[in-house]
Structure 1
Amino acid sequence: MAASLVGLSLPAAAQFAKPEDAIKYRQNALFVMGQHVSRVGAMAAGRAPYDAKLAADSADIIADMAKLPWAGFVPGSDKGGNTRARPEIWTEQVKFMQSSDKLIADTARLAAVARSGNLENLKTAFAATAGTCKSCHDAFRSQ
C-alpha cells in the first residue's frame, strides 16, 4: 500500500515546481471549500436564512473541492512555506488518506442531501461532514 501511495504521489509531485506551489494549491482548495462550508454551516445552525438552492450549490462545490487538496500533500511540501500541516501527514500516510477518503464520501452525501431541500437532513449531514473535518484537523493540522 505504501508503494502505491508513493507511486500515486509522483505525478502530483511533478505538477508542482516547488514545495511552496503544492502548499499554495492545497491551501487555496481548502480555502474555497471552507468558504462554502461556512455558508452551509450558517444555514444549518440557523445563523443565516435557509436557502435550499444556495445550500445545494454550495454543497456541490464542497464535494467537488474535497477531491482537490490531497494532490498538494506531496513529499517535500511539509516545509518551504507557510503551512500548518503536521509531520503525521507524511509519517501516517495511510491514516491521512483514509481521512481524505472519508471527507470525500461525507461531502458527496452532504451534496446529495442538500439537493433534497430538507433542512433537517441537511443539518445531520452537515454535522457528520464537520465532524470529519475536525477529526482530520485534530490529527493532521497544527493550530
Structure 2
Amino acid sequence: MNRLASFTLAAAGAALCLPAIAQFAKKEDAIKYRQSAMFIQNQHVARLGAMASGRAPYDAAAAVANAQVVAEISKLPWAGFAPGTEGGKAKPEIWKEQPKFKEFNEKLMAETSKLPAAAGNLDTLKAAMASVGDTCKSCHDTFRKD
C-alpha cells in the first residue's frame, strides 16, 4: 500500500509540473519569453518614469494607459522561470532560492497593480514609481546578472 501511495504522489507531482514544462518547447524559448516580457514592461515603466521625473511632460491619460500595461505585463515573466530554464541574464540563485524569488515577483505584481490608480495624478505617480523602482532594483540586484 505504501508503494502505491508513493507512486500516486510521484505521478501527481510530475503531472503538476507538466504545464510549466509544456509551455516552452525549449529552454531558450522560456528565456526569450521572460526577457521579452521584461523588455515590454521596461518600455512602459520608462515612459512613466520620464513623466514622474519631469523628463517628459505629464499626460494623465498616457500615464494611466502605460500603468495599465505595466500592471498586466508584470504578471507574465514568471512562467519563463520554470525549472530547467536557467540561463540568460538570470542568476542560478533564482532556482536555488525560489521562496525569495517568488516573494520578489509577488511584491512587484502588488506594487504595479497600484500604478493605474496612482497614474492619474503626478504626485501619486511619483510615489508609486519610487516603490516600483525599489522593487525592481531589489530583485535585479539579487537575481540578475550584469
**TM-score when scaled to structure 1?**
0.89
Aligned residues between the structures: 133
Report the alpha carbon displacement of residue 7 of structure 1 after superposing the two structures with TM: 7.6
> Which of residues 57, 61, 74 is equivalent to 1:66?
74
Matched, 1:106 2:114: no
Rounded to whole Å, the distance in 1 between the matches of 2:126 and 2:98 is: 31
Return the offset for 1:11. 1.3
- Which residue identity is paired with 1:31? F
- 1:52 aligns with 60
CA distance in 2, matches of 1:73, 1:7: 18
8 Å Cα contact 1:9-1:71 kept in structure 2: no
Give CA deviations for 1:86-134 in whole Å, capped at 9, x if unaligned: 01100000000010000000000112211xx210011000100010000
The equivalent of 2:122 in structure 1 is 119
Give the match for residue 3 of structure 1. none
Name the structure 2 match of 1:29.
37
Report what 1:136 is aligned to. 139
* Largest Rg, 1 or 2: 2
> Could you list the runs of 5+ residues in structure 1 that have no partner in the other structure?
1-5
Poorly superposed stretches of 4+, deviation over 4 Å: 6-9
**Partners of 1:61 and 1:32 in 2: how far apart?**
9
Matched to 1:25, the amino acid is Y
> SS state of the match for residue 84, structure 2?
coil
Q: State which drifts further: 101-110 or 7-16.
A: 7-16
| Deviation (angstroms), 1:85 | 0.1
Distance 1:76 1:142, change over 3 A: same
How far apart, CA to CA, are the structure 2 residues paired with 1:7 and 1:87? 25
**CA–CA distance in structure 2, aligned partners of residues 64 and 12 of structure 1:** 20
Shift in Å at residue 10 of structure 1? Answer: 3.7
